[in-house]
């Protein structure tokens, strides 16, 4: 069985992640059939789309046509034959996903790609009852919010066929996303592991009083993060080595090792309630002085314009 | 003794970092007296300034006046009485810096702030022979390139007076930089530690074949880095907890801990020549296919425009 061309996407679960995926899919001209059991799900989804639909980079739609391609349904089953790809965003519970995926696998044509947005569960944990074609199941983990941030982690399970990994990457790339392939199922995949590495050291530095929470964040937003938005850690090392990664490793590897040893010796103790409480106090002392709603909406607006700039586009074609 | 208003800066060492500082200082309307013992230092500095001078965000100068305020001298000693602040960018050798700082401390008026760009040596290591006023000596560690990236890590030694920490922060802030105060001398300060945390995990993931070097970098540039350019790790956690850091820690702390434990068990072995060589091969297999000069110049151009956008300015007033 080979993947099909994708025109209609089924979105299961329309919370924050599912709604954001829906905004992306619709903006790129795809049809979406969405479902969610919450009583107010449809109303909330429409609100989300009205608010965020126009900020999708490189949108292909005008505002007026934005919602024409959306169908919200209580029960997806009657529509499973019309769907070319499923993006699942249900709760992160293995028993729930096992039942859901067994049902989807049994009731969709065998060539339909089924992607889960799961950030925590590897798909090998929940395909155990899929008897039809589990080789078309994989993780397509977005970075929040999916309608703005290009990254998608594509994580096959050991039985996922290469054709479906390739098809998933092509599908996401056609939506102006940047898929990366996580070749082995690994806790936290890639992004959450890199994020945990930074957070752990950040917590240690703030809780030990080396730097304030505000200045810790500034170190990222006014320095490291600016550079990392444009060149990744490996390329940054390579450029830092005069265009030669080996040169960088030979000359700066030892310093890196010294810092890492010191970090390890002073690592944040997640098991100490005292350390955790002290960190919370220090952070809350800072963030309680800030209008977080404003921070978040400014960030998302800037993020949208940054991604548009990176895509080399003047942005959405909507008139809003 | 109190810090003086700063109109004239002495720049010691005009390699890449010193030249970039000089571009910044001149663009903000300061006078610069620069020195460097290399035979071609003056020519190289002028070349650097011609090439990069116009990209400083929020420049106050027109191109024609750009170089009027620069004086390059072979010997700084006759000018030490005219200088209000020294930004030192000499070699990272403790014996060298000890002699240099003893000389500067003995021969400049006691109120003059002396900042070292050192990334590796804490100032307590090289003020040991300063008898005049070591309380005006501190680290002002920039993030490369200083004329573009706002971050400066201000690191006092235990005897630096608070007045000079404040004065250094005000000085850098007046240049549209974002100073952060590293309250305790710590190996790698803040930025290099956070960077080491990411690099260490990146090396592990690439060398273990979990992800390609290219996709590792993409995880940063298309995801994590974009967000970190706009909100730091602590604020990102807080927003992720619905505006509540404690909520984030209570709910996601355990997952973070699980990932960190797995990372620790699989940490990159810097001492294994085999692991290091394998990593170099994997990285070089990717970067050897890329025009690095183009990557670097595109990055710097984008960095300049990103910083200008963040500063809310349409940019430099130069006509270039």
Q: Taking a contact as any Cβ pair under 8 Å apart, which residues of chain B between 117 and 156 contact chain A?
A: 120, 143, 149-151, 153
Decide if B206 and A234 are in contact by the 8 Å CB cutoff.
Answer: yes
* Token representation of residue A222: 């006014």
By Cβ distance, the residue of B233, B284, B299 closest to A230 is B299
Chain A residues whose beta carbon lies within 8 Å of the beta carbon of residue B223: 143, 149-151, 178, 191
SS3 content of chain A, % helix, strand, coil (to 5): 50, 10, 35
In the structure, what pLDDT confidence band is assigned to residue A316 with cuts at 50, 70 and 90? very low
Angle CA A167–A170–A171, to nearest 5 = 85
Average pLDDT of chain A? 93
Q: Which domains does chain A have, with CATH numbers?
A: 8-181 (3.40.50.720), 190-313 (1.10.1040.10)
Taking contacts as CB-CB distances below 8 angstroms, the residues of chain B near A226 are 149-150, 229, 303, 306-307, 310
Q: For strand A137-142 and strand A151-156, is the pairing parallel, antiparallel, or unpaired?
A: antiparallel
Of B191, B208, B292, the CB nearest to A239: B292
Residues near A60 by beta carbon (within 8 Å), at least 6 away in sequence: A27, A28, A29, A317
Is B180 an interface residue toward A (CB < 8 Å)?
A: yes
Question: How far B89 CA lies from chain A's nearest CA (Å)?
Answer: 17
Q: How confident is the model at residue A318 (pLDDT cuts 50, 70, 90)?
A: very low
pLDDT per residue as tens digits for the range A155-192: 999 999 999 999 999 999 999 999 999 999 999 999 99
Inspect the interface and report whether the beta carbons of A256 and B199 lie closer than 8 Å: yes
Confidence band (pLDDT; 50, 70, 90) for A63? Answer: low
> Which tens digits make up the pLDDT trace of A218-233?
999 999 999 999 999 9
CB contacts of B309 in chain A (<8 Å) are 302, 305-306
The Cα B138–Cα B140 span in angstroms is 7
pLDDT band, residue A55 (cuts 50/70/90): confident
Tens-digit pLDDT profile for residues B111-154: 999 999 999 899 999 999 999 999 999 999 999 889 999 999 99
- For residue B282 the two structure tokens come to 């994997």
DSSP three-state, residue B240: helix
Give the mean model confidence (pLDDT) for residues A133-145.
96
- The token pair at B268 is 């990159």
Q: How many CB pairs under 8 A join A and B?
A: 335
Report pLDDT digits (tens) over B77-117.
Answer: 999 999 999 999 999 999 999 999 999 999 999 999 999 99
- The chain A residue lying nearest B221, using CA atoms, is A229
Contact between A292 and B243 using a beta-carbon 8 Å cutoff: yes
Q: Quote the pTM value.
A: 0.93
> For A219, which of B191, B240, B284 is closest by C-beta distance?
B191
Give the one of B183, B208, B223 whose C-beta lies nearest to A209's C-beta.
B183
Residue A1 — pLDDT band, cuts 50, 70, 90?
low
Instruction: Please state the φ and ψ torsions of residue A291, each to the nearest 5 degrees.
Output: -85, 95
A184, A213, A223 member nearest B143 (Cβ)? A223
- The pair phi, psi for residue A315, each rounded to 5°, is 115, -160
Residues 206-235 on B with a CB inside 8 Å of A are 206, 208-213, 215-235
pLDDT band at A312 (very low <50, low <70, confident <90, very high): confident
* Residues B7-43: tens digit of each pLDDT: 999 999 999 999 999 999 999 999 999 999 999 999 9
- Positions of A marked active-site: 153
- pLDDT above 70 as % of chain B: 96
The alpha-carbon gap from B143 to the nearest alpha carbon of chain A, in Å, equals 6
Does any CB of chain B come closer than 8 Å to the CB of residue A198? yes
pLDDT at A144: 86
pLDDT > 90? residue A193 = yes
Residue B21 near residue B53, CB atoms below 8 Å: no
A interface test, pick of B225, B253, B287 with most A CB neighbours within 10 Å: B225
C-alpha dihedral sign at B261, B266, B268, B273: positive
- A233 and B205 within 8 Å at the Cβ level: the answer is no
Contact A186 B180 (CB under 8 A): no
Query: Which residues of B are identified as catalytic?
Result: 153
Interchain pair B232, A211: CB under 8 A = no
Q: How far is B189 from chain A (nearest CA, A)?
A: 9
Residue A178 to residue B222, Cβ atoms within 8 A: yes
* Beta-bridge partner residues of A140: A154
Q: Tell me the C-alpha distance between B63 and B319, whole Å.
A: 7
Phi, psi of A154 (to 5 degrees): -95, 115
Average model confidence (pLDDT) across chain B: 93
Q: What is the Cα B45 distance to its own chain's centre? A: 19
Residue among A26, A150, A202, A123 nearest B227 (CA): A150
Contacts B258 to A, Cβ<8 Å: 187-188
| Dist. CA A296–CA B242, nearest whole Å | 10
pLDDT of residue B2 exceeding 70, the answer is: no
Type and span of the H or E element at B273: helix B273-287
Print burial letters for A185-204: b (CB count within 10 Å at least 16), e (below 16).
Answer: bbbbbbbbbbbbbbbbbbbb
Look at the block and give the residue holding tokens 């992607």: A115
Q: For B281, name the nearest residue in chain A, comparing CA atoms only.
A: A246
| Separation of CA B262 from chain center | 32
Q: What is residue B63's predicted lDDT score, i.e. its pLDDT?
A: 63
With beta carbons under 8 A apart, name residues in chain A contacting B302: 230, 309-310
Interchain contact, A229 vs B212, CB within 8 Å: no
């Amino acid at each position: 069985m080979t993947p099909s061309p994708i025109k209609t996407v089924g979105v299961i679960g329309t919370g924050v992640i599912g709604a954001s995926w829906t905004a992306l899919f619709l903006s790129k001209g795809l049809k979406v059939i969405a479902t969610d059991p919450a009583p107010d799900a449809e109303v909330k989804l429409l609100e989300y789309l009205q608010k965020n639909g126009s900020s999708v980079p490189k949108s292909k739609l005008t505002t007026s046509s934005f919602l024409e391609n959306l169908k919200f349904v209580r029960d997806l089953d009657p529509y499973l034959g019309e769907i070319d790809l499923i993006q699942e965003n249900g709760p992160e519970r293995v028993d729930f996903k096992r039942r859901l995926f067994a049902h989807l696998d049994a009731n969709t044509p065998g060539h339909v790609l089924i992607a889960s947005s799961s950030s925590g569960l590897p798909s090998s944990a929940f395909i155990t009852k899929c008897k039809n074609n589990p080789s078309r199941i994989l993780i397509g983990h977005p970075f929040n919010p999916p309608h703005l941030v290009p990254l998608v982690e594509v994580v096959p399970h050991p039985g996922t066929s290469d054709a479906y990994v390739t098809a998933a990457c092509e599908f996401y790339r056609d939506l102006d996303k940047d898929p990366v392939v996580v070749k082995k199922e690994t806790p936290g995949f890639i992004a959450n592991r890199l994020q945990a590495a930074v957070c752990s050291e950040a917590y240690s530095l703030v809780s030990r009083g080396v730097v304030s929470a505000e200045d810790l964040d500034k170190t990222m937003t006014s320095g490291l993060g600016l550079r990392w938005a444009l060149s990744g850690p490996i390329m940054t090392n390579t450029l830092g080595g005069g265009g030669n990664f080996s040169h960088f490793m030979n000359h700066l590897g030892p310093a890196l090792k010294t810092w890492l040893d010191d970090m390890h010796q002073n690592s944040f103790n997640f098991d100490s309630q005292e350390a955790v409480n002290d960190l919370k106090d220090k952070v809350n002392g800072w963030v309680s002085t800030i209008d977080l709603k404003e921070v978040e909406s400014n960030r998302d607006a800037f993020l949208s314009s940054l991604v548009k700039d990176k895509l080399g586009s003047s942005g959405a074609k909507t008139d809003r």
